[in-house]
Structures are given as structure tokens and as C-alpha cells.
Amino acid sequence: MSQLFQELSRRNVFRVAIAYLAVAWVIMQLADVVLDNIAAPEWLMKALMFFIVVGFPVALLFAWAYEMTPEGIKRERDVDRSTSITSKTGRTLDFVIIGVLGIAVVFLLVDKIALDKATPEAIVTDKSVAVLPFVAMSSGPDDEYFADGLTEEILNSLTRVPELLVTARTSAFYFKGEDIPPIPEIAATLGVAHIVEGSVRRDGKRLRVTAQLIRAVDGFHLWSESYDHDTDDTFGVQIDIAEKIAAALDIVLDDEQLERMHTFGLRNPEAFVAYQKGVELADLAHGTEVQVEMLLEANAWFEKALSLAPNLSAAHLWHSDYFAHFLMDNIGSEDVTDDERAAAYERLKQDMDDAIRTAPDESHSLAAAFDRALLTANWQSLPAMFDAVVAQSTCYIPGWVDAISLAYGQARENLILNQRLIECDPLDYVGWVGAIYAHVWLGDYDAAIATAIDGKKEITHRQIDWGLFMSYVAAGRFEDAAARIDRDIRGEAPVLRARLILSAARGDAASTKSLLEKYLAADDSRDDLRIENFAMAGERDLANRSAAEIDSDPFGYLLLMYVPLDCICGAPFDLEVTPNFAKLLQDANLPWPPASPIDWPLKDW
């Protein structure tokens, strides 16, 4: 073994290995910077890495079998050892290694100093806090829901303090469970300076709550307290915790702020539990094949919560979601009667009115009013309300705002709203998805791709995956788009639709026609998606026929309003065939046809 080591050293195999790895590292770093800036396809970096890895053993074998001589490269066995210059070659390799390591040091310094100056880290304000889900220490069937409800109420109470930046619920609740990162890491992810954590234990009517405020930078407990109360006094506990946190952060609450905090929130523990169960079900429902059925089940819990806390605005809003999706899913359906649909429409309006009436502040009221106007076909007021939403600085925006903004020249304003959502709630997929498509509609495909990639680093969600796929399609990076289908898209119908979109974007008429026929044969193909597929495939008559059929339904606008947005193909149908939808566009003064950020070679209108 000693002789082998000496021979490897004599033949400079070790030096070649070190030099190869050093040069390979520099090449990879430079390629990473260059390829990112020229928006090169992902496979190019992978191919470079593959060749570097494969080349490593080849270089070692070459160093063992061959030797540099004054006459050139020769096989080692053909070189007289008395005339060998391996020691000189070794010194040359030493200089190469030193030089490459010097380049590496310079590169790291530039990356650390120059690039950090170009992209400074976001400043974290000292008056910022995230409320992590309180841990349920008792094991009753509803104790975890109760703990979540108490957490959300404390969070909501703190949002009443204007001077305090509070992380939104979705991002805070991302860190729920036993296996969570250390406090400094959580704070860095959420962009806050302080973390609130605690626990809840229920024993019959007795309630024990512990809470502590932690400074993230050093883990110091700025405040902590335990409460032993009756469960009927939950409201007093949450208010006291919120006030003590504000005081610990040197925030002085005036009488008006105290009044806002005291008038906001639930006072009924059972309403806590029912509302949390409803939210959990409704969150799970969206995007599933049994969406309407699960939303109906969730509504039973919202109805229980509202029977105990009639002024819970969020529950009214959640309750309305079932009726909106019921109407959308039953357009043109013979499975429900006109009376059933009319009743659902009336319940939708009533829920929205109740959400507006009980809204805790102006931003919630405006968002609910916007959604009501959109969903009930009162579009005249939408432009003014949209401007008011953009002018706000709050973290709460309408749930259906994309429908009348992105496709109609308001993509930049929409981007502002979604960037605000990302800042407030970085672990909620909604802001990321909205920002991705806003960049696509603005024609900034590289920014759309970068936003999607950043979003995937923060949270895993199928809509972010789909947004990245569509961004690659928009950028004309079809190989990357195809790779995303294989890697990210799940489910037979979504994969089929993705392949159809990619084929249409490539202008492959034969493949697109075949995929379209397969899609139409599927029992679960939605009417609005049919229009989009027809348009991308260049089937104008079929797109018009489907659009006209939907428009003839009294609630057809609920589907048609999203077709231009999701198609990203300009006018997916001729407006003349949808007079009812055309009237709504006219009422809102929205332009037609929309822009087409993606080039669809098979579509000629």
C-alpha cells in the first residue's frame, strides 16, 4: 500500500485530482452566474455537471497512465525514469492549484461583499412578531382546535395595533407540530424580530394558558406569564396576552387602540373550535374532486360558529364560498333545479352582506364588498373599488381580485397586491401564485420563473408548480416546461392538460388535436377549461360554441370571467357570442380583447 501511495504521488495523480476539483468548482460557479443571467435552460447546467463528474475519473486514469515530457505526452511505461520530469510537472500543478484557489477566494469575496451590497437583506423592524400555534397539552378531541383558535385570536388582537407588524396566520401556522426549527431560524424565515409561543391545557371548565415573548436574535424571554382561568373567560386571557406583548415591545396603546382590541374577537370557546374545524375542512376542499361536498360539510361548522358568535365576519365569508362554487359547478347542469340555484344565489348574497356588516375594519369590509360586487354581477363599481384596494397598505385583499385585473391591463397593480401578500404571509401560496402570473402578464418571463422558483423554496404547492410550468411555456423554454410536467404535475387530467398546452405552444397541430380529443373524452373535463383548450388549439368555432352555451346560463359569468385570465391567449372567444358577459365588461369599462402574453401558433384570432 505504501508503494502504491508513493507511485500515485510520483505520477502526480493526487495533484491532478486537487487541480481538477478546484478548476471544476470555479467553472461551476462561473457557469451558475452566467447561465442564470442569460436565462439558459436548466438542462444546460445539468449537462455541464454531468461531464465534469464523468471527466474526473478519466483525468485520474490519464494522470496514472501518461506523463508529460519535453517531447510531449507519452505513455508512462515508455518514459525512462532517469529523464522523467514528473517533479517539474508537479511544481507546475502546484502553481495551478494555488492560482485556482486564489481565483476561488476572490470569487467568494466578491460574492460576499459586492453582491451583498447589490441585493441587501430585507430590514427586520424591531416592532414585529409572529404568533406560533399554541401547543395543546391536554388530549381532548377538540383541544387542538381550541388551542389553534386561541392562537388566532391573539394574533388578530395584535393586528389591531398599527405600530406592530404581525405575521399572517398561514405563515405562522406553517410551524405547527413537534419537529420545528429553532426560534432564530423561524424568525428569519418570517422576517420578524420576535416570536410568541405558548401552550394550552383544558380540564373540564378550567383553562391553563402559558405564553412567552422571545427576542429572536438571542433567545431572551422578554415576557412570560401563566393564566389559570375558567374556559368562559378565554377572551380576557387573549386580550391580556396581546396587551402584555405590546407593552413588552414598548408600544403604548391609546384608548382608541385598546377599544379596537377589546371589540375584536370571539368570546365563546365553542365558537373557537367550530370555526377552526370549518377552516380546516374548507382549506382541504379547494382543488379536490369533491370540493363542493367538502365545502358543504365545512359550512355545518361555520353555521355552528355563527350560532354562537353571529358577528364573526370571517365565518360569513367562508360560508359564502360554498354557494359560489355550487353555482359555478352547476352551470348548465340538469342535476339541480332553477329554484335550488336561485336559493344558493340568495344565500351567497346574504353571506356577503353579513360579512360586510360585521367586518372588523375598513380593509375587510372593502374586500368583502369587492367580492360581492364581482360574484353578483354588479361590475360597475369594481374599478373604483380595485383602485381603493391597491391604495391600501394592509395585508388583506379580495379573494377574487385577479378576475378583473390581470387580463385587463392592471397586471402591475395586481403585482403590487401580491408582493404585499408575500411580505405579510410568505408561507401562503396565494401571494406567490398571484405574483408569478402578474409577471407573465407583464411579459417579464424571467421574473415569473424566478418568483416561482423562490416560491417553491418557501412552500410546496401544486399551483406554484403549475405557475412555473406556465412561465416556462410563456418564455418559450419548452424543454424546461416538459421537464416540469414529469417532475411536478400530478394526476391524469392535469398531466394531459399540461401536455396539450405545451403541444399547442409549440404549434404541433397533429399532437394538439390528438391530446384535445383525449381531454374531451374525459368525464371530468370542465366547461371553462374546454374553452381555453379550444382557443389554444385554434378551434375558434368550438370555443365560441362552448362560450355561448355558458353565457346563456344566468350564472355563466362566474366561469367566463376566469377564462381570459387562465387561457393567457388574448380573446379565447368572440365577444359577440357572449352578450351577457360583454355587458359586464362594458359596465366595468374593461377592454377587449385582452393581451396575449403567450404566443399560440395555432390560434389565428
pLDDT, tens digit, for every residue of 506-564? 999 999 999 999 888 875 556 788 899 999 999 999 999 999 999 999 999 999 999 99
What gap in Å lies between CA 19 and CA 13, rounded to an integer?
A: 10
Higher pLDDT among residues 306 and 71, named by residue: 306
Strand stretches in 384-455, DSSP E: none
pLDDT, tens digit, for every residue of 580-595? 999 999 999 999 999 8
What gap in Å lies between CA 249 and CA 104, rounded to an integer?
A: 44
Q: Is residue 497 part of a domain?
A: no
Q: Is residue 326 part of a domain?
A: yes
Q: Between the CA of residue 479 and those of 174, 321, 473, 509, what are the distances in Å?
A: 33, 38, 9, 18
pLDDT, tens digit, for every residue of 323-372? 999 999 898 888 899 999 999 999 999 999 999 999 988 999 999 999 99
What gap in Å lies between CA 213 and CA 55, rounded to an integer?
A: 54
- Which residue, 236, 265, 294, sits at the end of a domain? 265
Q: Is residue 304 part of a domain?
A: yes
Q: Average pLDDT for residues 177-199, to the nearest whole number?
A: 88
Find out whether 445 and 468 touch, Cβ atoms under 8 Å: no
Same domain, 141 and 223: yes
Give the model's pLDDT for residue 37.
Answer: 55
Q: Between the CA of residue 70 and those of 19, 73, 75, 85, 474, what are the distances in Å?
A: 21, 8, 13, 8, 56
* DSSP code at position 585: H
Same domain, 203 and 280: no
Same domain, 235 and 258: yes
What gap in Å lies between CA 490 and CA 496, rounded to an integer?
A: 10
Give the model's pLDDT for residue 153.
Answer: 82
Helix (H) or strand (E) holding 415: helix 411-424
Same domain, 106 and 143: no
- Which residue, 219, 248, 265, sits at the end of a domain? 265
- With cut-offs at 50, 70 and 90, classify the pLDDT of residue 199: very high
Q: Average pLDDT for residues 191-204, to the nearest whole number?
A: 89
pLDDT, tens digit, for every residue of 42-54? 667 777 788 888 7
Q: Is residue 455 part of a domain?
A: no
Same domain, 259 and 287: no
What gap in Å lies between CA 257 and CA 505, rounded to an integer?
A: 54
Q: Say which residues have a Cβ less than 8 Å from residue 588's Cβ, sequence separation at least 6.
A: 379, 380, 382, 383, 404
Give the model's pLDDT for residue 252.
Answer: 73
Same domain, 35 and 109: yes
Same domain, 260 and 276: no
Same domain, 281 and 228: no
Same domain, 282 and 353: yes
pLDDT, tens digit, for every residue of 126-171? 889 999 999 988 878 788 888 888 888 888 788 878 788 888 888 8
- Which residue, 265, 290, 313, sits at the end of a domain? 265
- The helix/strand count (H/E) of the chain reads as 27, 8
CATH number of the CATH domain containing 181: 3.40.50.10070
What gap in Å lies between CA 529 and CA 177, rounded to an integer?
A: 38
What gap in Å lies between CA 366 and CA 123, rounded to an integer?
A: 30
All three cell numbers of 295: 365545502
Cα dihedral 253/254/258/261 (nearest 10):
-60
Q: Is residue 544 part of a domain?
A: no
Q: What is the DSSP string of 477-539?
A: -HHHHHHHHHHH--SHHHHHHHHHHHHHHHT-HHHHHHHHHHHHHSTT--HHHHHHHHHHTT-
Same domain, 186 and 239: yes
Domain range enclosing 86: 2-118
Same domain, 137 and 25: no
Spatial CA neighbour of 594 closest among 558, 386, 476, 581: 581
Helix (H) or strand (E) holding 186: helix 183-190
For 174-178, 404-408, 520-524, which range has the lowest pLDDT when averaged over its residues?
520-524
Q: Is residue 90 part of a domain?
A: yes
What gap in Å lies between CA 43 and CA 454, rounded to an integer?
A: 19
Q: Is residue 33 part of a domain?
A: yes
**Domain count along the chain:** 3
Same domain, 175 and 225: yes
Within a 13 Å sphere around the CA of 164, how many CA atoms are in the beta-carbon half?
A: 28
Category of 229 on φ-ψ map: left (φ > 0), alpha (ψ -120 to 50) or beta: beta
Q: Is residue 134 part of a domain?
A: yes
Q: Average pLDDT for residues 440-452, to the nearest whole number?
A: 96
